[in-house]
Amino acid sequence: MPLVSTDAVLGPARAAGLGAPAFNVLHLETAEALVAAAERAEVPLILQISENCVRYHGSLLPLLRATLTLAEASEADVSVHLDHITDAALLREGVSAGVRSVMIDASALPYEENVATTSELTGWCHREQVYVEAELGEVGGKDGVHAPGARTDPEQAFAFVEATGVDALAVAVGSSHAMRERTAVLDKELIRSLRQRLPVPLVLHGSSGVPDGELRAAVGAGMTKINISTHLVSVFTGEVRRTLSESQSLIDSRKYVGPAREAVSREAERLLRMLGAPAS
C-alpha cells in the first residue's frame, strides 16, 4: 500500500475508537525501524518530521524524500506529516516535495493571533489538499499544550476549530513534552468532554511521559493521534549505549546503530498494537 493521507488514518481510527500512533523520524534508521514496525503490526502509521529535526539536519528535503520513499514502498498504510511547523516557508517547501499533512504551531502567539495565523495557513493548505493539525496553547503559559498544568477548555477549542477550519487539534490534558519518566496522569474526563464537543480528531502531544495504562485510557476516552518521540529516542540511545559498553573494540557504526534500529522497531510495534489494533 502506498503513502496514505493522515485523514485516511485518523478518520477511521476516531470512528472506531482506536488510537493512531504518530512517531517522530530523527534519521533514516528511525524511519526504517518505524515502517517495519507498522508492517509487522498491520496498523496504520503516521511518520512525522519536526521543525527541530529539520534544524538538526540543516535542511528538510533529504530526510523528507527518504521518508516519503519508505512510505510509498511500504506494505503498511503510512502517512508522512510535518510536526510543530512555525515557519511558513518550510511548510511550503514540504508541500512542494509531496507532504500532505502538517501541524501548524502558532501556539506561542496570543489567542487572536494564533487564530488569524492558523486560519490563513489552513486556507492555503486546504487549497493544496494538505491536512492540518493545529494547537491551542493559551492555557498554562508559553509551553501551551505541553505544559503539565495546562488544560484545554472545550468551548474555546470548539470556537478555535470553527474559526480556523483545522482538521485535527492538539489539546492539553495533562501530558508535557520530552518527559524522561513515564509518570504523567491524564484528565480522562476532559478528554471525554473534548471528544463530545469537537468535530475533529484529538491529538496528544508529549505522550512519551505517559505510561501504557494511561495511554490506553486516553484512547478509550476519545483521544486519537498519539504523538510519541522521546520514549523511542531513549530506547534507541539505550541500545546504542548497551552495545558500545559490551565491546570497546567496535568501530563500525552499523554494528551499534543496527541493534538500536531493531530495538526501536520492536517497541514501536508493541505501541502500534497496543494503541491502534482492534481488540480481537
Rounded-to-integer distance, Cα 220 and Cα 232, Å: 23
- Of the pair 74, 207, the CB lying nearest Zn ion is at 207
CB 115, min distance to Zn ion, A:
19
Q: Which is nearer to Zn ion, 205 or 261 (CB)?
A: 205
Which whole-number Å values give the CA distances from 205 to 103, 108, 149, 202, 228, in the listed order?
A: 11, 15, 14, 10, 7
Q: How far apart are CA 236 and CA 258, in angstroms?
A: 10
Stretch that binds Zn ion, among 152-160, 204-212, 218-226, 233-241 (CB under 5 A): 204-212
Cα 185 from chain centre:
19
Q: Which range in 26-34, 66-74, 121-129, 205-213 contacts Zn ion by CB under 5 A? A: 205-213
| Dist CA 57 CA 40 (whole Å) | 29
Q: How far is the CB of 276 from Zn ion (least distance, A)?
A: 19
Location of C-alpha cell 522497531: 265
Residues 6+ apart with CB under 8 A from 1: 74, 75, 76, 77
Closest residue by beta carbon to Zn ion: 205
Cell numbers describing residue 274: 497496543
23 touches 228 (CB < 8 A)? yes
Question: Would you give the binding string for Zn ion spanning residues 7-46, x where CB under 5 A is met?
Answer: ----------------------------------------
Q: Per CB under 5 A, does 205 bind Zn ion?
A: yes
Count the site residues for Zn ion by CB under 5 A. Answer: 1
The one catalytic residue among 7, 77, 83, 167: 83
Residues near 48 by Cβ (< 8 Å), separated by ≥ 6? 22, 23, 24, 25, 80, 81, 82, 83, 103, 227
Q: Is 83 an annotated catalytic residue?
A: yes
In whole angstroms, the minimum distance from the beta carbon of 194 to Zn ion comes to: 17
Q: Using the rule CB under 5 A, give the single segment among 6-14, 29-37, 125-133, 198-206 that binds Zn ion.
A: 198-206
Distances (CA, A) of 117 to 15, 99, 110, 114, 150: 29, 20, 11, 5, 22
Shortest reach from residue 253's CB to Zn ion, in Å: 29
Judged by CB, which is closer to Zn ion: 84, or 261?
84
- Piece of the chain touching Zn ion by CB under 5 A; list 69-77, 202-210, 239-247, 256-264: 202-210
Q: Which residues bind Zn ion (CB under 5 A)?
A: 205
Catalytic residues, by residue number, are 83
